[in-house]
Amino acid sequence: MKIIYMHSIILLFLLPLVVKADPIDDIMHMLRQGNTQELSKLFSDNVEVTVLGGDNSLDKTTAIPVLDKFFADNKPKSVRLFHKIDSNPNYLFGVIFLNTDKGLYRISLTLSKHDTEMKIVEMRIEVEKTK
């Protein structure tokens, strides 16, 4: 009987090593913290970032300071997953609501598989008009 419990305990410790966390969940955690440095590590080399309806999309190097400013001006309170498409193993799409001290924002993410990991290829931050 004790052997069964021991195997169960070992399995519980090994399970996180086998099960990979969902990239959208990781991104939600980074958004909740306003952690642009960790978020930028998930950017593809050819990422397009649009913040608050800017006319032009930003590349990876110019997007980081813009995101830093956005999170400095808008302190995150909470995040909520609104929609996720994960039916294709090489492509993910998600819509996240970010509640900040200044209001509610809608963040649309497109991720694509590069080598063995998912990378953000497009990120749009917009003011959420409906509540």
Q: How far apart are CA 109 and CA 23, in angstroms?
A: 11
Question: What's the mean pLDDT in 45-73?
Answer: 83
Q: How far apart are CA 118 and CA 123, in angstroms?
A: 14
Q: Is residue 1 part of a domain?
A: no
Range of the domain at 72: 21-127
**Tens digit of each residue's pLDDT (9 = 90 or more) over 25-54:** 999 999 999 899 999 899 988 888 888 877
* pLDDT above 70 for 67: yes
Nearest to 107 by CA among 45, 52, 35: 52
pTM recorded for the entire structure: 0.78
Assign residue 87 the CATH number of its domain.
3.10.450.50
For strands 91-100 and 103-114, give the pairing.
antiparallel
Q: Is residue 117 part of a domain?
A: yes
Q: Is residue 9 part of a domain?
A: no
* pLDDT above 60 for 76: yes
Q: Is residue 15 part of a domain?
A: no
* pLDDT above 60 for 129: yes
